[in-house]
């Protein structure tokens, strides 16, 4: 059975993540990046994911490769800031740097485990389209013994490079689910970002 990284995800969380993404990426439909470039980026990501899951390596051997994949192709600083939510506005530069580094390892392990569920299957890019000021690349995951399902990648060049900033797996929105989960973890520590960073490093 596939795990769901967004258990308990609320409609409010989706709205909050959408607003965070809009604030981060703007709304004016002026494209430096084009649909073919966005698709080419995700072609590379999918090829790398397929190579990792088809390598036959152990989970611990795969995790560093998933982390390299995220740091190469994902806009991790933007994802980390969106996940941290309002707390990012009051964080110091040093705290944001530490959180982003810790979050990179955290998200790589988490989604690395999700992609490991695709072992024995594959992902294929099927389409790409503009969405507001960004692009969405649609892929299909084929798993043995299960019905195919969509994996959608949202791509932007607002950071100065073409990178993906969100993944939606079977309708589960990474930005929304991480904003909910990181927010709950921070609340549990009474808003202490340093404590959150320290605890995430131990996970």
pLDDT in tens, 8-31: 444 344 434 444 444 444 444 445
Give the right CATH number for 11-202 from 3.40.50.300, 3.90.320.10, 3.30.300.30, 3.10.450.710: 3.10.450.710
Both structure tokens of 54? 């088809």
Q: Where are the chain's structural domains?
A: 11-202
pLDDT in tens, 129-169: 999 889 999 999 998 888 999 999 999 999 899 999 999 99
Specify the pLDDT at position 13.
Answer: 42
pLDDT at position 67 over 50: yes
- pTM (predicted TM-score): 0.79
Q: Which of 69, 76, 66 lies closest to 102 in space, CA to CA?
A: 76
Rounded Cα distance between 154 and 183, Å, is 22
Task: Please answer whether residues 123 and 141 qualify as being in contact, where contact means their C-beta atoms are separated by less than 8 angstroms.
Answer: yes
Q: H or E stretch including 135?
A: strand 134-142
Specify the pLDDT at position 139.
Answer: 97
In this structure, are strands 134-142 and 149-156 parallel, antiparallel, or unpaired? Answer: antiparallel
Q: Any residues with CB less than 8 A from the CB of 161 and at least 6 apart, and which?
A: 75
Task: Please answer whether residues 185 and 18 qualify as being in contact, where contact means their C-beta atoms are separated by less than 8 angstroms.
Answer: no
Task: Please answer whether residues 143 and 1 qualify as being in contact, where contact means their C-beta atoms are separated by less than 8 angstroms.
Answer: no
Location of structure tokens 């973890």: 185
Rounded Cα distance between 50 and 163, Å, is 18
How far CA 71 is from CA of 7, 133, 165, 182, 195, in Å, comes to 26, 23, 11, 20, 24
Both structure tokens of 70? 């995220």
- Please report, rounded to a whole number, the percentage of residues in the chain having pLDDT higher than 70: 85
Q: Any residues with CB less than 8 A from the CB of 113 and at least 6 apart, and which?
A: 3, 59
pLDDT in tens, 35-44: 999 999 999 9
């Amino acid at each position: 059975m596939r795990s769901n990284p967004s258990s308990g995800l609320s409609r409010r969380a989706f709205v909050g993540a959408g607003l965070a993404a809009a604030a981060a990426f703007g709304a004016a439909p002026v494209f430096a990046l084009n649909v073919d470039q966005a698709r080419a980026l995700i072609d590379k990501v999918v090829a790398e994911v397929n190579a990792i899951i088809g390598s036959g390596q152990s989970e611990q051997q795969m995790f560093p490769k998933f982390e390299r994949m995220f740091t190469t192709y994902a806009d991790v600083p933007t994802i980390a800031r969106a996940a941290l939510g309002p707390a990012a506005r009051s964080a110091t530069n040093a705290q944001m740097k530490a959180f982003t580094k810790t979050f990179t390892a955290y998200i790589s392990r988490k989604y690395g485990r999700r992609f490991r569920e695709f072992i024995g299957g594959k992902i294929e890019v099927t389409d790409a389209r503009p969405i507001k000021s960004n692009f969405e690349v649609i892929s299909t995951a084929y798993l043995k013994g299960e019905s195919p399902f969509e994996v959608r990648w949202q791509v932007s060049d607002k950071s100065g490079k073409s990178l993906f900033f969100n993944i939606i797996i079977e309708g589960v929105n990474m930005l929304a689910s991480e904003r909910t989960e990181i927010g709950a973890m921070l609340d549990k520590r009474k808003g202490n970002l340093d404590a959150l960073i320290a605890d995430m490093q131990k996970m």
